[in-house]
Amino acid sequence: MTTLITGGSKCGKSSFAEKMLDSFSGRKIYIATMQPYGTDAFEAIERHRKMRKGKGFETIEKYTDIHELNLNDECVVLLECLGNLCANEMFSGDEISIPTDKIVNGLKSLANSVSQLVIVTNQVCCDGISYPDGTEKYISVLGEINRRIAKYADNVIECVYGVPVLMKGELPC
């Protein structure tokens, strides 16, 4: 089963995603995609570590190349977050790359190999502000990745002010 959780900044996506996997008694994997650059990133990483402390998650830090993960159907996976993964893939080289197929295919492969995959993503295209070309391209690519994952996901949930709103499928908890 694949669940995509989306929403704006600080809307409760991560808490809801973790809650979905609370009752699972087997191996729980947390794939952390935020590269630790700068004070804000370190603070966010520490906040997320505190949130999942004592919840039985094993953390795998994987900033790019999600397709390289080799997990099995005896575990559940929470990927936090797709926005970071996309940015890492796009801006890791000298030129901007378009990782849409790479990320979508990697996530489909991961979803097919594990018992449950919960993907946290961001809504970054709703503010109507014009940005520099590189940022506009990132917004476009992440939007396309979100759209393609939402199409194959069993459940799509938007968190609004901490309230999960079902967009597709069923609320798992």
The larger pLDDT score, comparing residue 152 to residue 128, is at 152
pLDDT at 104: 98
CB 57 within 8 A of CB 29: yes
8 Å CB contact between 19 and 162: no
Please state the pTM of the whole predicted model.
0.92
Q: What is the span of the domain harbouring residue 38?
A: 2-168
Assess if residue 158 is contained within a domain: yes
Residue 41 in any domain: the answer is yes
In CATH, what number is assigned to the domain containing residue 20? 3.40.50.300
User: What local confidence, expressed as pLDDT, does residue 148 receive?
Assistant: 97
Question: Are 121 and 127 a contacting pair, CB within 8 Å?
Answer: no
**Inside any domain, residue 48:** yes
Domain membership flag for residue 67: yes
Task: Evaluate whether residue 173 is within a structural domain.
Answer: no
Q: What is the domain count for the chain? A: 1
User: pLDDT band at 67, cuts 50/70/90?
Assistant: very high
Residue 89 pLDDT: 96
Average pLDDT in the chain = 91
pLDDT of residue 127: 67
